[in-house]
Amino acid sequence: MVSKPYQRIPIQDCGEPLVPIPLEQFAVVDPHPYAVLGAPYGERSPYYVRQGVLQALIQAQQHLQHHHPGWRIQIFDAYRPIAVQQFMVDHTYDQLLAKWQHEQGTEKMPPKDQLLDQVYQFWAAPSHDLTTPPPHSTGAAIDITLVNHQQQVVDMGSAIDEISERSYPNHFAHQPGGEIVHHHRTLLTQAMQSAGFRQHPKEWWHFSLGDQLWAWLGLNSNKSANCPADTSAVAYYGRAT
């Protein structure tokens, strides 16, 4: 497993607490998709983020609704402890293995390393090292989509967590017939960027604020009064406790 470039970003956690997302203000995927699979959340709700991230999320939705009244951000996933990260990595590997065996047959030896490489293109390693926390374990990353004024989920061209190039944010920019999908993704991106979030380069649904990936992507301002003013080379959210 190869480490990712953003994991070299140093962390100086600013100490903000995890706070519950007020789900009545947003749309939400219910029941929670990973909990349904049996992911071990224990007593901790997945719908938690750092305090400054929540403030920015509310700001992003206000931006969205200013331009598109009645539209809302739909929360798919937020805080994810290490045990859940491990569970989902294993689950995703099992899915890819089953697909490979269906196509190649069960007699052949599966290419475990190649399948794991596919998994880790989209899932962060469930590292217990405090210097390399999975983004969702920090409370600074969130997976989202949009619902329109009729409270219908808009077409984003691929499902959240789909392991394919269709998940890349700009995949549909120049695809024949992809204009509407690309427009929807652009609306989501613009709303989140207006509040200081940064988008995962391979996942249209994943946004973060203040974690290592965010810092690595070059964002050098923050939306939390409790954190340093200049964090261009430092993450101010580490693994949440």
How is the chain split into domains, by residue range? Answer: 5-216
Q: How many residues does the chain have?
A: 241
Mean pLDDT of 163-175: 94
Return d(Cα 161, Cα 213) in angstroms, integer: 18
Neighbouring residues of 61: CB distance < 8 A, sequence distance ≥ 6: 25, 26, 72, 73, 191
Mean pLDDT of 185-195: 98
Q: What is the pLDDT of residue 112?
A: 84
Mean of the per-residue pLDDT values for the chain?
Answer: 91
Return d(Cα 77, Cα 48) in angstroms, integer: 9
Q: What is the pLDDT of residue 101?
A: 85
**Per-residue tokens: 135:** 């983004």
Q: What is the pLDDT of residue 1?
A: 52
Neighbouring residues of 193: CB distance < 8 A, sequence distance ≥ 6: 199
In percent, the amount of the chain with pLDDT more than 70 equals 93
Contact 107, 213 (CB under 8 A): no
Return d(Cα 45, Cα 21) in angstroms, integer: 10
Name the residue with higher pLDDT: 104 or 16: 16
Angle at 166 between CA 219 and CA 57, to 5 degrees: 40
pLDDT over 90 at 232, yes or no: no
The CATH fold assigned to 5-216 is Muramoyl-pentapeptide Carboxypeptidase; domain 2 (3.30.1380)
Q: What is the pLDDT of residue 29?
A: 92
Helix and strand counts by DSSP (H, E) for the chain: 6, 7
Q: What is the pLDDT of residue 224?
A: 52
pLDDT over 80 at 154, yes or no: yes
Q: Global pTM?
A: 0.89
- Listed in sequence order, the DSSP H helices in the chain are 33-37, 51-67, 82-104, 112-122, 179-194, 212-216
What count of other Cβ atoms lies within 10 Å of the Cβ of residue 3? 11
Return d(Cα 12, Cα 236) in angstroms, integer: 5
The four Cα atoms 201, 54, 155, 124 give a dihedral, to 10 degrees, of 40
Return d(Cα 51, Cα 223) in angstroms, integer: 10
Q: Which residues are catalytic?
A: 203
Nearest to 6 by CA among 239, 233, 205: 233
